[in-house]
Amino acid sequence: MATATLASVRRRGSGTVRRLPSGRWQARLVRPDGTRESLGTYRTRTEADQALVQAEADQLRGEWAPTPDDPGTVGEWADRWLAGAHVRASTTRRYTGIVTALRRTWRSRAVTAVARDDVRGWATEMLVGGSAPATVQYAVGTLRRILALAVEAGVLVTNPATGVRLPTPHPADIHPLTIEQVDALAVAIEHPELRPAGNGAKPTGRATRPDLALAVRLAAYCGLRAGELWGLRRRDVHLGPHPALVVEQSVTAGTGGRLTTGPTKGGRDRRVPLPAALVEPLRAHLADHPGPPNGLVFTSSTGTPIRHGQVYRRHFQPALVRAGLPTTTRWHDLRPTYASLLIAAGGHPRAIMERLGHSSITVTLNTYGHLMPVVDDELTCRMDEALANARGHGKGTPAPNTFTAGEEKGD
CATH number for the domain harbouring residue 362: 1.10.443.10
324 and 364 both lie in a single domain: yes
224 and 89 both lie in a single domain: no
pLDDT of amino acid 216: 97
Arithmetic mean of pLDDT over the chain:
78
The answer to whether residue 408 sits within a structural domain is: no
105 and 49 both lie in a single domain: no
The answer to whether residue 381 sits within a structural domain is: no
225 and 303 both lie in a single domain: yes
User: What is the crossing angle of helices 334-344 and 361-368, to 10°?
Assistant: 100
In the predicted structure, residue 74 carries a pLDDT above the cut 50? yes
pLDDT, one tens digit per residue, over 39-60 is 777 778 888 888 788 777 777 7
Looking at 352, 369, 386, which one is the last position of a domain? 369
pLDDT band at 173 (very low <50, low <70, confident <90, very high): low
CB under 8 Å, gap of 24 or more: what pairs does 293-299 form?
293/233, 293/234, 293/235, 294/233, 294/234, 294/235, 295/233, 295/234, 296/230, 296/231, 296/232, 296/233, 296/234, 297/232, 297/233, 297/234, 297/236, 297/237, 298/211, 298/215, 298/229, 298/230, 298/232
101 and 248 both lie in a single domain: no
The answer to whether residue 168 sits within a structural domain is: no
236 and 284 both lie in a single domain: yes
The answer to whether residue 254 sits within a structural domain is: yes
285 and 231 both lie in a single domain: yes
The answer to whether residue 376 sits within a structural domain is: no
* pLDDT (average), residues 118-145: 82
Q: Which residue has the higher pLDDT, 371 or 169?
A: 371
In the predicted structure, residue 63 carries a pLDDT above the cut 60? no
pLDDT band at 187 (very low <50, low <70, confident <90, very high): very high
Q: Which residue has the higher pLDDT, 95 or 310?
A: 310
In the predicted structure, residue 254 carries a pLDDT above the cut 90? no
In the predicted structure, residue 383 carries a pLDDT above the cut 80? no
**Cα–chain-centroid distance for residue 81?**
21
In the predicted structure, residue 94 carries a pLDDT above the cut 80? no
pLDDT, one tens digit per residue, over 293-328 is 999 999 988 888 999 989 999 999 999 999 999 998
pLDDT band at 401 (very low <50, low <70, confident <90, very high): very low
In the predicted structure, residue 3 carries a pLDDT above the cut 50? no
Sheet hosting strand 237-238, strand order edge to edge: 237-238, 244-247, 270-273
280 and 355 both lie in a single domain: yes
In the predicted structure, residue 409 carries a pLDDT above the cut 60? no
pLDDT band at 10 (very low <50, low <70, confident <90, very high): low
User: What is the crossing angle of helices 89-106 and 133-152, to 10°?
Assistant: 80
pLDDT band at 201 (very low <50, low <70, confident <90, very high): low
pLDDT band at 129 (very low <50, low <70, confident <90, very high): confident
The answer to whether residue 400 sits within a structural domain is: no
* pLDDT (average), residues 195-223: 77
pLDDT of amino acid 407: 38
308 and 283 both lie in a single domain: yes
186 and 143 both lie in a single domain: no
Range of the domain at 257: 179-369
pLDDT of amino acid 57: 76
133-147, 149-163, 298-312, 370-384: range with lowest mean pLDDT: 370-384
Q: Residue 298, Cβ neighbours under 10 Å: how many?
A: 19
Q: Which residues, other chains included, contact 336 with Cβ-Cβ below 8 Å and sequence gap of 6+? A: 174, 175, 176, 367, 368, 371
CATH code for the domain in which residue 109 is found: 1.10.150
* pLDDT (average), residues 192-201: 62
pLDDT, one tens digit per residue, over 270-280 is 999 999 999 99
pLDDT of amino acid 189: 94
Number of H helices, E strands in the chain: 16, 9
pLDDT of amino acid 222: 93
Q: Which residue has the higher pLDDT, 375 or 358?
A: 358
191 and 316 both lie in a single domain: yes
Tally of domains within the chain: 3
pLDDT of amino acid 170: 57
Q: Which residue has the higher pLDDT, 386 or 70?
A: 386
113-127, 165-179, 310-324, 334-348: range with lowest mean pLDDT: 165-179
Calculate what percentage of the chain has a pLDDT beyond 90.
24
The answer to whether residue 377 sits within a structural domain is: no
pLDDT of amino acid 124: 83
80 and 53 both lie in a single domain: no
pLDDT band at 376 (very low <50, low <70, confident <90, very high): low
pLDDT, one tens digit per residue, over 227-252 is 999 999 999 999 989 999 999 998 87
Q: What distance in Å separates the CA atoms of residue 258 and residue 389, rounded to the nearest whole number? A: 63
The answer to whether residue 402 sits within a structural domain is: no
Q: Which residue has the higher pLDDT, 330 or 387?
A: 330
Q: Are 224 and 218 in contact (CB under 8 A)?
A: yes
Calculate what percentage of the chain has a pLDDT beyond 70.
73
Looking at 137, 152, 167, which one is the last position of a domain? 152
Phi first, then psi: give them for residue 296, nearest 5 degrees.
-75, 145
